[in-house]
């Protein structure tokens, strides 16, 4: 009986006299928002600061509000469509705001290739997914070339950070103050700082959902640009650690997984055989540290002796000192 009474009630569209097609209202609202954005952009660039503020006051709109920033952001990034805003009408405002983010801006140029009436929300979302996949691939390729890990001749692993070049020398100045004023070691300062930053990043990841809504992405884009960059650097470090762990597990993997390792061993063997200087030997070993011992075993005694003769006298002296127990160990940085 209750369902029958509900069916006799007028529909929402009939009650308010609106188009029953929801998509039509998205297009209308987007178009009106675009009109508002382009008007604001025109006013901001045509009037002085005081005149512009007075104009917004007359419209009961606070200057500097988030809504003003978002509207101006859309107008700025979609200037090519100012003469034909209806071209963007099928795209919801939240998606337009997402496209205004730095990493999605290249898509805006792609939209110009479609004729008026040829754009759909589904099409734009597909372009966004393609852009995400491209950026992910590029990021993975870059991460393959990044590693802070080094190994001693005995195979012990340690991390080495690149030199810190800064115009204001902030990192060096603050570190020196902690050393001089509190007697801390540089290694201790670095360890504590990275641990705190790692905990901060992890905490933020838990607070924010994995898949962000378009609206939250807009807030991040306009208010926290530096945080987005920092997150990227943190992700790089995490990815590097993961890749190193995979490399360490290779030796216990199945035969198919060991094949790349065997190929790397053969590659290092060939480099050592063709080496004619210590620089070439050192460079080859540091690029294949994980298979150094296996490659050395595959060299003939004659080749081993020839390579040892290419080593600097200082290195041979250190080797003898370690064997004699005069020193615990030694290692050489890749930079020399």
If one compares 36 and 283, the residue with the highest pLDDT of the two is: 36
- What does pLDDT average to over the chain? 78
Across the range 246-257, mean pLDDT stands at 48
Using the predicted structure, report yes or no on whether residue 60 has a pLDDT greater than 70.
yes
Task: Decide if 120 contacts 90 (C-beta within 8 A).
Answer: yes
Number of Cβ within a 10 Å radius of residue 249: 10
Q: How many residues does the chain have?
A: 336
Q: What is the mean pLDDT of residues 90-105?
A: 93
Cβ atoms 157, 149 nearer than 8 A:
yes
Q: Where are the domains of the chain?
A: 15-142, 172-250, 255-323
Average pLDDT of span 51-67: 86
Query: Rounded mean pLDDT of 96-116?
Result: 91
**Between residues 211 and 305, the one the model is more confident about:** 305
Integer Cα distance of 287 and 268 in angstroms: 9
pLDDT tops 50 at residue 3:
no
Q: pLDDT tens-digit profile of 153-165?
A: 888 888 888 888 8
User: What is the pTM assigned to this prediction?
Assistant: 0.45
Mean of pLDDT values over 229-236: 39
Q: What is the pLDDT confidence band of residue 232, given thresholds at 50, 70 and 90? A: very low
115: its two tokens: 């004729």
Helix (H) or strand (E) holding 159: strand 157-159
pLDDT computed for residue 262 by the predictor? 83
The tokens for 174 are 């603050």
- Asked if residue 82 lies in contact with residue 45, where contact means CB atoms within 8 angstroms, the answer is no
Is pLDDT of 336 > 90?
no
pLDDT at 19: 87
Secondary structure of 104-117 as H, E, C letters: HHHHHHHHCCCCCC
Backbone angles phi and psi of 59, in degrees to 5: -95, 10
Start-end of H helices in 117-185? 121-144, 170-182
């Amino acid at each position: 009986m209750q369902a029958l009474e509900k069916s006799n009630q007028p529909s929402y569209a009939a009650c308010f006299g609106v188009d029953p097609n929801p998509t039509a209202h998205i297009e209308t609202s987007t178009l009106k928002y675009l009109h508002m954005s382009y008007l604001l952009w025109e006013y901001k660039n045509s009037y002085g600061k005081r005149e512009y503020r007075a104009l917004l006051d007359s419209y009961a709109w606070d200057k500097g509000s988030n809504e003003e920033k978002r509207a101006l952001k859309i107008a700025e990034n979609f200037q090519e469509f100012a003469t034909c805003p209806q071209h963007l009408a099928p795209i919801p405002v939240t998606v337009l705001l997402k496209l205004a983010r730095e990493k999605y801006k290249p898509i805006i140029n792609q939209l110009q290739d479609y004729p008026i009436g040829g754009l759909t929300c589904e099409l734009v979302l597909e372009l966004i997914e393609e852009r995400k996949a491209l950026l992910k691939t590029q990021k993975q390729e870059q991460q393959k070339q990044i590693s802070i890990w080094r190994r001693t001749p005995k195979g012990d692993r340690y991390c080495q950070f690149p030199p810190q070049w800064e115009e204001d020398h902030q990192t060096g100045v603050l570190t020196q103050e902690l050393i001089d004023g509190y007697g801390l070691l540089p290694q201790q300062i670095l360890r504590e700082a990275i641990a705190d930053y790692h905990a901060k990043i992890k905490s933020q990841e838990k607070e924010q959902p994995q898949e962000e809504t378009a609206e939250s992405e807009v807030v991040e884009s306009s208010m926290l640009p530096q945080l987005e960059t920092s997150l990227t650097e943190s992700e790089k470090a995490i990815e590097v650690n993961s890749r190193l762990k995979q490399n360490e597990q290779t030796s216990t993997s199945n035969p198919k997984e060991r094949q790349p390792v065997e190929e790397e061993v053969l590659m290092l063997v060939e480099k050592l055989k063709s080496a004619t200087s210590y620089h070439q030997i050192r460079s080859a070993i540091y690029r294949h540290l994980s298979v150094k011992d296996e490659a050395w075993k595959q060299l003939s005694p004659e080749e081993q002796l020839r390579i040892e003769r290419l080593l600097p006298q200082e290195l041979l002296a250190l080797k003898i000192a370690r064997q004699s127990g005069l020193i615990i160990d030694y290692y050489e940085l890749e930079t020399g």
